[in-house]
A and B are shown apart, each in its own frame.
Chain A
Amino acid sequence: DGGITQSPKYLFRKEGQNVTLSCEQNLNHDAMYWYRQDPGQGLRLIYYSQIVNDFQKGDIAEGYSVSREKKESFPLTVTSAQKNPTAFYLCASSIDREGWKGYTFGSGTRLTVV
């Protein structure tokens, strides 16, 4: 079955360390997205990519980096510059079909800084 796979499901990081969250899709979607979910703040867009080798900052990109070397993969690195990295991270992909846009979400990665 097609879908989005995020790994790992739970991740613990020591302060000062970079960590990379994986997101892979086999839906042949062109666009991919990273969101951060915090209680009471909904989902906020970190980065998005419309096409391979191209990506744009979302609303809260500081302290994060991404790459899009392959269509099916969009890894997110949480760097030590991110002041408050403990959160739930969701990856999504979308397809633009005849004027409407369908999003598919992954199951998320919960990152805890210890």
Chain B
Amino acid sequence: AQSVSQHNHHVILSEAASLELGCNYSYGGTVNLFWYVQYPGQHLQLLLKYFSGDPLVKGIKGFEAEFIKSKFSFNLRKPSVQWSDTAEYFCAVIPYNNNDMRFGAGTRLTVKP
């Protein structure tokens, strides 16, 4: 079955450490790609999105993601995390010619002060 895979269920980092969260998808063709963040007790919030063009996408709060088509990947990165980045992060894909968004299982990030 086609899917979105997030490799890490729970990541624990110290402040100032670098972050990379993996995301792979199995849909062929053109895709729209997203990363969402959900802070404790809050709504889903869009971090960044990729539709076309430069495969390195910059989002809010210092996050960026790189689309590597050959690897079907869209990994999220941040050079230096802060305690306030503690949240759950979801990768999502809208396959070509489709409107419904499919999500990965999420990665919980805990940043220790």
A residues near B (Cβ < 8 Å) are 31, 33, 35, 40-45, 48, 50, 58, 90, 92, 94, 96, 99-101, 103, 105-108
Q: Would you mind naming 30 contact pairs between A and B with Cβ atoms under 8 Å apart? A: A33-B100, A33-B101, A35-B103, A40-B9, A40-B106, A41-B105, A41-B106, A42-B4, A42-B103, A42-B104, A42-B106, A43-B92, A43-B103, A45-B100, A45-B102, A50-B99, A58-B100, A90-B44, A92-B101, A96-B99, A99-B51, A100-B32, A100-B49, A100-B51, A101-B32, A101-B101, A105-B43, A105-B44, A106-B43, A108-B43
Asked if residues B99 and A101 are in contact (CB atoms below 8 Å), the reply is yes
Counting chain B residues whose Cβ lies within 8 A of the other chain, the interface size class is 20 to 34
CB distance from A29 to the nearest CB of B (A): 11
Q: Report how far A90 CA is from B36 CA in the complex, Å.
A: 14
B residues near A (Cβ < 8 Å) are 4, 6, 9, 32, 34, 43-44, 46, 49, 51-52, 90, 92, 94, 99-106
Residues of A within 8 A of B51 (CB): 99-100
| Nearest residue, chain A, Cβ from B44 | A105
Residue among B43, B94, B105 making CB contact with A101, cutoff 8 Å: B94
Q: Report how far A90 CA is from B52 CA in the complex, Å.
A: 27
Asked if residues A48 and B44 are in contact (CB atoms below 8 Å), the reply is no
Asked if residues B101 and A103 are in contact (CB atoms below 8 Å), the reply is yes
Residues of A within 8 A of B99 (CB): 31, 48, 50, 94, 96, 101
Q: Report how far A101 CA is from B44 CA in the complex, Å.
A: 16
Residues of A within 8 A of B34 (CB): 103
CB distance from A36 to the nearest CB of B (A): 11
Residues of A within 8 A of B94 (CB): 101
Residues of B within 8 A of A106 (CB): 43
Asked if residues A43 and B32 are in contact (CB atoms below 8 Å), the reply is no
| Nearest residue, chain A, Cβ from B9 | A40
| Nearest residue, chain A, Cβ from B105 | A42
CB distance from A54 to the nearest CB of B (A): 12
